[in-house]
Amino acid sequence: MIDESRNLDRRRFLQQGLVGAAAASLAAPLTRGQDRPSQLIRIGVIGVGPRGQWHVRNLLTNHPDVTVVAICDIQEDHLDAAVQIVKEMRGTTPAGYAKGEYDYRNLCQRDDLDAVLIATPVYWLGRMTVDALRAGKHAALEVAGPQTEEECWGMVREKQKSGKHVMFLENCCYGNENMMIYNMINHGVFGEPYYAEGSYVHDCRSLFFDPGGKITWRGELQRDRYGSTYPQHGLGSNCKWLQINDGDRLESCQTMMASGGHESHLRTVTQFGPGSEQARIQFKQGDFVTSLISTAKGRMIRLDYSICCTRPYSRYYLLQGTKGCWDSRSGVFLEDSSPGKSGAEGAWEPLAKYEPTYQHPYWRENGAAARRTGGHGGIDYHCISDFVKMLREDQEPWIDVFDAATWSSIIFCSKLSLDRGGARVDMPDFTDGKWKDPSWRKGRMQIS
Ligand SMILES: NC(=O)c1ccc[n+]([C@@H]2O[C@H](COP(=O)([O-])OP(=O)(O)OC[C@H]3O[C@@H](n4cnc5c(N)ncnc54)[C@H](O)[C@@H]3O)[C@@H](O)[C@H]2O)c1
């Protein structure tokens, strides 16, 4: 727990900009019972491929009161690169863990860690989160989160048992437009929201094989699994807009899939040749996947997903309410203020027109820093800042374990729906009915 004196220490520390002094004091090893600089947040990172390395940089660039104490990766070159980042940025040497796939458990057991950030391939995220919680650490995990219903429940139950915080690092929720829509909904601008669309359509085929031609976890995802296998970039904002787990819940899902594996196969043949071993791979995943999700309160979400479509990156969203609509591909129409009337006379307006009034405070106050240093156009800055805030203020995060489990459940529900020919599949309620009370998560971080 962080007490007020610790917060005061931390504030003073930040005001005085004592980063160098803190870094120097970290050179001494920190062991149980030993005094340590109370203002420092000590983080261990598991999985330092491109994403994990980026998190290390982001943490150290934007948060002087954060230090990275330990790093784990089974690939030594990745581990070395991440250790080097910390050395260059802080002058300290984090402990390294690289002795096999379960060495991360030794990192989790360290006494000198406040939290563990996990950025490994998707198959590991759920179980590593559970192990971090069992070791008494707060945790943050990357998308696409837990993969099975057992993993989702495991994370939820372990969080409840441990009392530790879990933040799901779904960064697209932190986009300027996505947060602005959230703010506008909270100001009643759209009336009652009842329909939303979200998508993640990102041609990732260049990442299906490593430079040596070996299939990667992203390629395996496409080869071995099907359905909405990486759903949260499209779904997270929709759920926040429709108050999922805060007064409503995802109830059922129906999924349809287009043209099994053509685009993945075509690209593989072009890349490796028709006679290659890779060209014989049968990709189970469809080229395009759409899920329709209903909520307990009779609302609906449409979720589009593809990581193999031939087109530039596109992530589109729509929010429909009783007083207006935002379509990221067309603009915004608000009954009370847009020109014309709904229907033939109406005209879409640019969302930017409403920015002076409704831009989210995160972007208004820190938009420039986010764009400059945060990654993915700034969304990572806000996402990681919330993770640090969770630790600094000892508060449940905005995107918590219940959101992680709920949003991830589309992975196995969409597969089940496809197995049943597109039938409606009931979705689990990870809140055990608490969602009915919109204020049951009142004590957590408030975003607007
Ligand atoms: N939110 C986003 O915008 C975003 C963007 C990219 C990646 N991601 C997520 O971040 C994660 C990592 O992505 P990436 O592109 O860096 O992948 P990557 O495969 O390049 O890197 C993953 C790293 O984890 C390591 N690893 C694998 N198993 C391990 C184990 N048992 N113990 C320790 N280390 C292990 C690998 O050696 C590798 O260095 C994925 O879950 C991915 O979905 C999210």
pLDDT digits (tens, 9 = 90+) for 120-161: 999 999 999 999 999 999 999 999 999 999 999 999 999 999
- Write down which residue in 170, 203, 235 finishes a domain: 170
Give pLDDT, residue 373: 86
If asked whether residues 301 and 250 sit together in one domain, one would say yes
CATH number (domain holding residue 116): 3.40.50.720
Give pLDDT, residue 447: 82
Counting atoms of ligand 1 from 1, which one is nearest the CA of 97?
33
Asked whether residue 382 is domain-assigned, the answer is: no
- Which residue's alpha carbon is nearest to atom 39 within ligand 1? 49
Count of beta carbons in the 10 Å neighbourhood of residue 78: 18
Q: How far is the CA of 125 from the centre of ligand 1 (A)?
A: 9
If asked whether residues 270 and 414 sit together in one domain, one would say yes
Domain that holds residue 161: 4-170
Q: How far apart are CA 283 and CA 350, in angstroms?
A: 40
Give pLDDT, residue 7: 36
Query: What phi and psi, each to the nearest 5 degrees, are found at residue 34?
Result: -85, 145
Query: Where does ligand 1 bind, in terms of residues with CB under 6 Å?
Result: 46-52, 72-75, 78, 101, 104, 119-122, 124-125, 142-144, 169, 171, 217, 376
Interval 412-442: pLDDT, tens? 999 999 999 999 999 999 999 999 999 999 9
pTM of structure: 0.92
If asked whether residues 186 and 212 sit together in one domain, one would say yes
Planar angle of CA 188, 382, 171, nearest 5 degrees:
85
Number of domains in the chain: 2
Q: Are strands 331-334 and 425-426 parallel, antiparallel or unpaired?
A: unpaired
- Write down which residue in 128, 154, 170 finishes a domain: 170
Asked whether residue 448 is domain-assigned, the answer is: no
Give pLDDT, residue 345: 87
Counting atoms of ligand 1 from 1, which one is nearest the CA of 379?
3
Counting atoms of ligand 1 from 1, which one is nearest the CA of 78?
39
- Write down which residue in 170, 188, 207 finishes a domain: 170
If asked whether residues 235 and 355 sit together in one domain, one would say yes
- Which residue's alpha carbon is nearest to atom 31 within ligand 1? 101
Separation in Å, CA 97 to CA 42, 62, 106, 378: 16, 25, 8, 30
Q: How far apart are CA 375 and CA 55, in angstroms?
A: 9
- Which residue's alpha carbon is nearest to atom 21 within ligand 1? 49
Asked whether residue 232 is domain-assigned, the answer is: yes
Q: How far apart are CA 401 and CA 159, in angstroms?
A: 7
If asked whether residues 226 and 238 sit together in one domain, one would say yes
Asked whether residue 444 is domain-assigned, the answer is: no
Q: Angle, to 10 degrees, between the axis of helix 50-62 and the axis of helix 379-392?
A: 60
If asked whether residues 407 and 264 sit together in one domain, one would say yes
Q: How far apart are CA 4 and CA 15, in angstroms?
A: 16
If asked whether residues 208 and 353 sit together in one domain, one would say yes
Beta-carbon-side half-sphere exposure of residue 81 (alpha carbons within 13 Å)? 16
Give pLDDT, residue 24: 34
Q: How far apart are CA 29 and CA 27, in angstroms?
A: 6
DSSP-derived secondary structure letter, 7: H
Separation in Å, CA 348 to CA 193, 324, 325, 331: 18, 10, 9, 5
Counting atoms of ligand 1 from 1, which one is nearest the CA of 217?
19
Helix (H, G, I), strand (E, B) or coil at 15: helix
Task: List, for the chain, all residue ranges whose pLDDT scores fall below the cut of 70.
Answer: 1-38
Q: How far apart are CA 50 and CA 70, in angstroms?
A: 17
CATH number (domain holding residue 254): 3.30.360.10
If asked whether residues 143 and 205 sit together in one domain, one would say no
- Sign of the alpha-carbon torsion through 90, 95, 97, 98: positive
Asked whether residue 446 is domain-assigned, the answer is: no
Give pLDDT, residue 38: 63
**Nearest C-alpha neighbor of 382 from the set 19, 58, 41, 42:** 58
Rg of the chain in Å (alpha carbons)? 22
